[in-house]
Chain A
């Protein structure tokens, strides 16, 4: 076990913090879309940067990915990726209730992504007595190589990342969105300290 791996207690603690953040993010999404969002237990795993590139850039039918960097105090930082499936692209405008010319599809995707990301991360931060700042969200064009290029650029000096995968399923519309948080190894060590501090209270 390396200094970057979470103990069982740390993993449990992180998962519970994520559950609460995910619950509030999906509540916002549900209110925004006036529908119900089905939640699954999130997955948390450590993954080598090289495997990460392989796993993520091979996802089939991914129509678009919106990527947004976040950083808080105490060296906690990472990147949130929201990926949407090809077959859902036409449904997004219906869901959001925009008129065809009101906002472009790209702007709609950025809107929905930023609701999910900022709600999730603000609730996450509040629970660990932290506060997040965000980079502007970036929509990666649906060109096959753009995701892997983006990932390569982002992770060029990472060896290992903590990968958190959360799926939001909008049941009425069979619309799915996957949120993937990537936390680089230097920030993992900082998160472990924060988790230990919380665990010490129990």
Chain B
């Protein structure tokens, strides 16, 4: 069973980094967004089960997306993947409902580990 996945990051390279870290069987059902607004549109119109979310983005940033998810009452597991590793930021995204904070650059074994911990694999 592969869940529907959305990767949101303003960097094409970062999106590819996440994509190639995913479990093989997940790679067929992945959508991507390059900013927060695009991500929220996809989240609203599709049932996305797992979101990999960057924080520092132009326009609606990752915090804005998390707030949007809460407002829309969406049931989606969010894994924040960011370079903004300050403890205060990590606490903030968890308070907004993110399952985990993963530091960039993302590594496949770390990502898989987190997915397993949350029973998604």
Contacts and interface: CB of A to CB of B under 8 A. Distances in A.
Interface of A: 9, 12-13, 15-16, 19-20, 22-24, 26-27, 30, 36-37, 39-41, 127, 199, 202
Contacts of B104: 16, 19-20, 23
Given A19-B104, A20-B104, A26 B58 contact: no
Chain A interface secondary structure, helix, strand, loop or mixed? helix
B86 A40 contact: no
A19 B85 contact: no
A9 B12 CA distance: 8
B88 interface: yes
Interface in B59-98: 82-89
Contacts of A202: 13, 16-17, 20
A36 B89 CA distance: 8
Given A41-B57, A127-B105, 9 more contacts: A9-B12, A12-B12, A19-B83, A20-B104, A24-B83, A26-B84, A26-B86, A27-B85, A39-B84
Contacts of A127: 105
7 contacts: A9-B12, A12-B12, A16-B11, A16-B13, A23-B56, A36-B89, A40-B56
A10 B85 CA distance: 24
A22 B84 CA distance: 8
B10 interface: yes
A23 B83 contact: yes
A12 B13 contact: yes
A135 to B, nearest CB: 27
Contacts of A41: 10, 56-58
> Nearest 3 CB-CB pairs, A to B?
A23-B83, A16-B11, A20-B83
A30 B88 contact: yes
B30 to A, nearest CB: 15
Contacts of A39: 56, 84
B39 to A, nearest CB: 16
